[in-house]
Structure 1
């Protein structure tokens, strides 16, 4: 997919996430890897009202070279994309249920959402590290996120929200959506004794779907 088509898809998917309540106001940001740089949603922009031509363009060294100024959380995206060269896109949302889990889980927790469904395991994997709280846009977050992202497809920022990745922009959006649904289930089932997928079933899913 060329850059123009990626810009259009970013607008489309951002609007879809916003329309369905996965982000509100100017919350959330998305980045996409290009052969020679990155696209990123601009700072203080709404995912529901993006304009393709105004999406930020960064070069391979993360210098702003086109479009509006990028999200103040560029450090977050750089940490993930440099830790995982196979990742093509990163989606950071403030979706309600996943953010609630990020407020309940202890920093350092590796599995704040148990393996309740196969699609959660397929999209998110075995690990969902919880990163300690950092002020949004604080560059001090980068080393902690980089270290956690090396072994995880998604993570939670304590008291802040989820970060999901994928090989493509669509894959990253699907992972963010699945993470939010799994968080809803986890909250609904708090205090109950749900049947979890067994370690063997988790291994089978990861071995089959990666």
Structure 2
């Protein structure tokens, strides 16, 4: 399996769903290709997807093989603004969403690994999911950070590999879970 292939995208979509970082049809994932990118389709449960289900979005913004996620524009702008981006992952991670709702600032994690792995996490204020305003804010924020907290919505991470983008999402969720349980007492 090539690192940034459609097969890798399906593999990691299933892992993120199994770990609860997305539920049902929420979230969206993509990998860059020469003439555009492959993205998960709109309204589909991630565990059931096959490589044939992915939608191709061309750099000319044309769609092949169905209807892409309503947030395809975030992916498009991240790829356009960051030549090193080869994968984009958007999750609705439960503990990260809880901590966001509780007002956690996400720059004060207790564990030191946060400083190493999430050095420049950016926050994007709540904007309507799928809106062009959200796409544009995410695109701009991606210029300074690989990890973006969409307040009240979820997380977007991009990486030079899909493994890097997935890892950033998983680490942020683990750190958020740690803070959640630490603050219970």
TM-score (norm 2): 0.89
User: Is the deviation greater in 33-42 or in 116-125?
Assistant: 116-125
User: Is the deviation greater in 157-166 or in 138-147?
Assistant: 138-147
Q: Distance in 2 between matches of 1:83 and 1:118?
A: 30
Deviation at 1:150, TM superposition (A): 0.9
Superposition map of 1:1-210 within 5 A:
6-64=5-63, 66-105=64-103, 112-125=106-119, 127-190=120-183
Q: Distance in 1 between matches of 2:112 and 2:31?
A: 26
Give SS of 1:152's match: coil
Give runs of ≥4 in structure 1 deviating > 6 Å.
Answer: none
Say if 1:123 and 1:45 are closer, same or farther in 2 by CA, change over 3 A: farther
Q: Which residue of 2 aligns with 1:204?
A: none
Question: Does the CA-based 8 Å contact 2:2-2:8 persist in structure 1?
Answer: no
Root-mean-square deviation (CA, aligned residues, Å) is: 2.2
TM-score (norm 1): 0.79
Q: Distance in 1 between matches of 2:124 and 2:7?
A: 32
Structure 2 unmatched ranges of 5 or more = none
* CA offsets 1:43-93 (integer angstroms, 9 cap, x no match): 0112211121120111122321x2221000112212322232211111100
Q: Distance in 1 between matches of 2:96 and 2:140?
A: 21
Aligned length: 185
